[in-house]
Structure formats: C-alpha cells, structure tokens
Amino acid sequence: KAGVTQTPRYLIKTRGQQVTLSCSPISGHRSVSWYQQTPGQGLQFLFEYFSETQRNKGNFPGRFSGRQFSNSRSEMNVSTLELGDSALYLCASSPPPGWDDTQYFGPGTRLTVL
C-alpha cells in the first residue's frame, strides 16, 4: 500500500508570494491533517479535513487555508508569505474509525521563504 505522498518536496518562495502544497492520503483514508514543523515550535497542528469538510482548526492566521477534494486529496495554501512561514509542512492521513488510531505522516514539503 502506498504511503502518504506530498508534493512538491521542496519549495523556495519570496516574501509576499503565495504557495500551494498538495497531499495524497493512503488509499481508503478520508481524514487528512496538516502540521507545521519548525525547530523552535516543533510540530503544530494546522487543520484537519474529513469528507471535504474542515473538522478541526489549529491556532494559525487566516493566511493558512486548506481544502479537500472528493478523492480525499488535500491542498493547503499559504498567502502573503512571511519569513516565519519557513518550515516543514507535514500531511497525515488517518484510517476510518475502528481501523486503528494511527496518523500516518508523509515526508513533508520543505518551504523556504526568502
């Protein structure tokens, strides 16, 4: 079974630009969560989508948004990039309730904002 895939793996942007990151969950998983990982703050939850609906949201500004498509693939968008947005953005997918409780992470997208 293929794991969680994220594209692109690396991105370099400049301040003020916007960026879109993509995540394909494990087949059969309908829940997709996004996390931001930085050396200073560690792993922080951004938002979670289930069946195309945002189910949970972390404490991030409105510049961070996401969506989920009918095939469970998800995208996150960051507008008006700031230097502090440089981070590893991780996507995790979860199986349906009753299967197991594991969140399976992708390899991440490394975003550098110059």
Under rule CB under 8 A, residue 52 binds another protein: no
CA distances from 44 to 70, 97, 109 (A): 26, 23, 15
- Phi and psi torsions of 83, nearest 5°: -55, -35
In angstroms, give the least distance from the CB of 45 to another protein: 4
From the list 12, 14, 16, 43, which residue makes contact with another protein (rule: CB under 8 A)? 43
Interface map 55-84 toward another protein (x if CB under 8 A): -x-x--------------------------
Residue 66 structure tokens: 């996401």
Sequential DSSP letters for 6-45: EE-SEEEE-TT--EEEEEEPPTT--EEEEEEEETTTEEEE
Under rule CB under 8 A, residue 1 binds another protein: no
| C-beta closer to another protein: residue 13 or 105 | 105
Under rule CB under 8 A, residue 45 binds another protein: yes
